[in-house]
Structure 1
Amino acid sequence: MERPTLYIANKNYSSWSFRPWIALTGVGIDFEEVLIPFDYPGGNCDIKAISPSGNVPVLQHGALKIWESLAIIEYAAELYPEACLLPRDRAARALARSVSMEMLSGFRALRGACPMNIRRPRARIVLPDGVDADVRRIETIWRDLLEKSGGPFLFGAFGAADAMFAPVVNRFDIYDLVHRDDTLAYMRTMKAHPAWRKWEDAARAERWIVAEDEV
C-alpha cells in the first residue's frame, strides 16, 4: 500500500494538525510528515498550493487529498482497520464519532480564549463567558467514557476520540483550568503516551513564534 503523506503546520500551535498526527502516530500507522509553517500575516503560499481549503492538515494518499482533522482520522481508520482507531463495537464506535464531532464543532469559547501552545508556561487567565461551561462539558464526556470503558483512554485503548481531544489536554494544562482527580489522571495518561512526547519534543524545539491572536 502506498504510504500517505500528512501535511501539518507548526507543532507548537496547530491543534488541527495535532489531532490526525497523534492519531496516526499513536496507533503505529506509517506516513510521511511534511511541516509547512505558519507565515503570518500574509499566509503561506505553500499551504495554499497543496490544500484545497487553503489550510492544513491535509492527508495525501496517491492522487487523493483529504482535509479536516476528523475526515483524515476516519479515512485512516478505514484504510488501516487493524490499527483500531475506532472501537470495533458498533455502539462504542457511534459514541466515539459523536464525541469526536462534538469536539470538532463545539467548545468555541474555550478555543477562542485558550489557544493551544505547547511552550506556554502554566498560568491562569481571565476567562470570558462560556469557557467554564465548555470545561465542565468536556470533563463530563471524559468521566462518562472512562467509567464506561474502564480506561486508561476514553474507549479503553488509545484511539480517534483521544486524538480529537488531545489539544484540549494541552489547553486544560497550560491555562490551569481543571482540578478534578479523574480529569488530571486522564491528562497524565495522554501526556505520557509516546506519540504525545514525540510531538511535544518537536514543538519545544521549534523556533517560530506566532502571536496568539494569529493562531
Structure 2
Amino acid sequence: MDRPTLYIANKNYSSWSFRPWMALTGAGVDFEEVLIPFDDAGGNPNIKAISPSGRVPVLQHGGLKIWESLAIIEYAAELYPDAGLWPRDRAERALARSVSMEMLSGFRALRNACPMNIRRPRGGIALPDGVDADVGRIETIWRDLLQKSGGPFLFGRFSGADAMFAPVVNRFDVYDLVSREDTLIYMETMKSHSAWRKWEEAARAEPWIVAEDEV
C-alpha cells in the first residue's frame, strides 16, 4: 500500500492539523509528514499549491487528496480498518462521529477567544460571552463518555474522537479554564499519550511566532 502524505501547518498553532496528525500517529498509521508553516501574512503559497481549499491539513494518497480533519480521519479509518480509529461497536462509532462532528462545527466562542498555542504560558484571560457554555458542554461530553466507557479515553481505547478534542485539551490547560477532577484526569491522559508528547516537543522547538489573529 502506498504511504500517504499528511500536509500540516505549524504544530504550535494549527489545531486543524493537530487532529488528524494525532489520530494517525496515535493509531500507529505510517505516513509521511510535510509541514508548510504559517510564515506569510498573505498566506503561504505552498499551501495553496497543494490544497484544493487553500488550507491544511490535506492527506494525499496516490493521486487522491482529502482535506478537512474529520474527512482525513474517516478516510484513514477505511484505509486501515485494524488501526482502531473508530470504536468497533456500531452504536459507539455513531456516537464517536456525533461528538467529533459537534467539535468540528461548534464551540466557536471558545475557538475565537482561546486559540491553540502549545507554547503559551499558563494563565487565564477575560472570557467573552459563550465561552463558559462551550466549556461546560465539552466537559459534559467527556464526563458522559468516560463514565460509560470506563476510560481512560472517551471510548475506552484511544480513537479519532479523542484526536478531534486534542486542541481543546491544550486550550483548557493553557488558558486555565477547568478545575473538575474528572476533566483534569482525562486531560492528563491525553497529554501523556506518546503522540501528544511527540507533537508538543516539535511545537516547542519551532522557530516561528505567529500573531494569534493570523492563525
Question: Same fold by TM (over 0.5)?
Answer: yes
Provide the C-alpha distance between the structure 2 equivalents of 1:40 and 1:143, rounded to a whole number of angstroms. 40
Aligned to 1:148: 148
Runs of 4 or more above 2 Å deviation: none
Aligned to 2:88: 88
Give the paired residue count.
215
Aligned to 2:172: 172
Aligned to 2:199: 199
Q: Give the drift of 1:39.
A: 2.2
| Normalised TM-score (structure 1) | 1.00
- Aligned AA (2:201): D
SS of match in other structure, 1:98: helix
Aligned to 2:124: 124
Contact 2:39–2:208 under 8 Å retained in 1: no
CA RMSD between the two structures: 0.4
Which of 173-182 and 40-49 deviates more?
A: 40-49
- Aligned AA (1:146): L
Aligned to 2:159: 159
Q: Give the drift of 1:72.
A: 0.1
Provide the C-alpha distance between the structure 1 equivalents of 2:84 and 2:21, rounded to a whole number of angstroms. 15
Q: How does 1:51-130 map to 2 (within 5 A)?
A: 51-130=51-130
Provide the C-alpha distance between the structure 1 equivalents of 2:212 and 2:125, rounded to a whole number of angstroms. 13
Aligned to 1:50: 50
Contact 2:48–2:55 under 8 Å retained in 1: yes
- Aligned AA (1:117): N
Contact 1:146–1:156 under 8 Å retained in 2: yes
What runs of 5+ residues in structure 2 fail to find an aligned partner? none
- Aligned AA (1:15): S
Aligned to 2:12: 12
Q: Give the drift of 1:213.
A: 1.1
Provide the C-alpha distance between the structure 2 equivalents of 1:84 and 1:192, rounded to a whole number of angstroms. 19
Provide the C-alpha distance between the structure 2 equivalents of 1:101 and 1:27, rounded to a whole number of angstroms. 20
Aligned to 2:36: 36
Provide the C-alpha distance between the structure 1 equivalents of 2:51 and 2:214, rounded to a whole number of angstroms. 19
Provide the C-alpha distance between the structure 2 equivalents of 1:177 and 1:191, rounded to a whole number of angstroms. 16
Provide the C-alpha distance between the structure 2 equivalents of 1:51 and 1:31, rounded to a whole number of angstroms. 18
% identical aligned pairs? 85
What runs of 5+ residues in structure 1 fail to find an aligned partner? none
Contact 2:8–2:17 under 8 Å retained in 1: yes
Question: For residues 168-204 of structure 1, what are the alpha-carbon distances to aligned partners after superposition, in whole Å with 9 as ceiling and x for unaligned?
Answer: 0000000000000000000000000000000000000
